[in-house]
Chains A and B, each alone.
Chain A
Amino acid sequence: MHDLLQRLQRRAEQRLPALTRYRRPESLPIELHRRRIYILPTGFGLGFSVLLLVMLVGALNYSNNAALLLTCLLGAASAASMLVAFRSLDGLRLDHVRAGHAIAGEAMELVLAFHSRRPRSAIRLDLADGTAAFALDGREAIEVKLHLPTHRRGWQPLPRLRLWSTWPLGLFRAWSWLHPDQAVLVWPRPEAAGPAPQAMVDDARHMRLHRGEELAALRDYRAGDPQRHIAWKASARHDDLLVKDFEQPRSQPQWRLDWRRLHGMDDEARIARLARWLNEAQSQRCSYSLWLPGNDIGSGSGPLHYARCMDALAGLP
């Protein structure tokens, strides 16, 4: 049944290009307007219209004009709610989409920033199997968080999003498609287990100083130096303040991760192994460098460095 419906849907989209006009990827920002907002009654709306019909026939049959007036009022209010549903989407703008980090197979957090000039309520955004509901106050932009499932590493284009609302009474559903022309980068999934990186660079060079508490030199005060590092006694003999300069700790070993040393493996396996090593290096707070074909990333540490290395791995052909 589900497949049949999907087939019919695809068929309809081929036959009626008007339906798919706004489903091609577009560049951001996307502002919704009347040509791309669709409205249909919901199941409840259909049921409600049957109820209205029953009330109408009853009122007419008993020639009860007060009841007829009530029915007309309810019917007119329902019809008016359709326009309200349309207005809740019309003029809404998707400004930008920000993607988080995720490794293949895990959900990636997307942050979509919406903006509107007037307050709106109960707008819902469908992505894959998730739905997020949000309201806008008409002044500030709002950020909606959604999770995008990922399957494999590399650039993954954003899927089509459905923005919909049944505001105010749930009788009509207004919806529109958003297909931002943007892709997100999915990091490779590290292998589960494997050998440790063999090639460590000789550590002695980096163990020159330890703990970082040895005084290396005195230098001039620069704005922002902590007060307790000021060498008060030495400063007293000079015109300017002097600051004790400490050697930075270099206790961790440095790893040099190299694509070329992983012989006899296919590309994906190499990537998975490198990803695992990157993870280990990051968790051990090592300093590491990475060599990839066409990309040589120098030694470094910290989350930014890690992200840069993972991006490079993910972006490999």
Chain B
Amino acid sequence: MISYIIRRLLYAILILIGVNLITFFLFFEVNSPDDMARVHLGVKRVTPEAIQKWKEERGYDKPRFHNDAATGARRFTDTLFFEKSIKLFAFEFGRSDQGRDIGYDISTRMWPSLAIALPVFLLGLVAYLTFALTMAFFRATYVDFWGVVACVAMMSISGLFYIIGGQYLIGKLLGIVPISGYDGGTDALKFLVLPVIIGVVAGIGASTRWYRTIFIEEINKDYVRTARAKGLSEPRVLFRHVLQNAMIPILTGVVVVIPLLFMGSLVTEAFFGIPGLGSYTIDAINSQDFAVVRAMVFLGSVLYIIGLILTDISYTLVDPRVRFE
């Protein structure tokens, strides 16, 4: 197990190098450092000298991947790519192109993102499981039928409509919660209600249907029939046996997204004015802050890889037959 994890970590470093290469290529293919300087220096009266200085100060005047002017190993180390990416591996994100401390920004903006993503994830899981169980319980009745119809209809609606509609209905017409905004501490609660509800509702269709399929599959298995034949009541069969066994594919399926909850969601955060990492990313793209984009891509990749490792581990935990050599 330990050696497996060590191997995975080495592999992760390899992947992160690849991620960095791709980010670098894509970003500088789009934006020359000149462009970045122009965006940061503003609109009116920008001179070529100021651009040159801006680049020098932030180290963007070096060649990208290969420095012909240097010798030996410095051909590769004295480049933009090497200088800008090596520190990431120590989680030193450095300063953004606007001069802000990225690490500090991330550490403060992570919590609002999590404050929305985590409740959506947990409440969602509970709600979807409840709905799916209800449908499985009443299978082959009108509840199941219309439930599935409702699920398919709901998953066919674009997430944008949930946000726009929810804000209009709950925030404006009913006036129950603030339309948007955020605050620290317990005051955050009233701002979180709406995005969390919308997040949960938006996911009902796809997830409920998925869980229901798993339950129905499980119900049709032989051991369930045996349990029923032994005279166990339907609720007992459902909760004791089916739910327990169906949780394995469900949990292992969702483990991969848990670390990514930190990253927040882009559209929701923009709409509700939540100062999380999702809006941080969008802002960085819009203002062409490469340092932030790179840090966020790196963070996202790290979290994704952690998710993959967690998935593997969760397999061994729930199913003792799985072993990693």
The answer to whether A binds B is: no
Chain A positions within 8 Å of B, measured between CB atoms, are: none
Chain B positions within 8 Å of A, measured between CB atoms, are: none
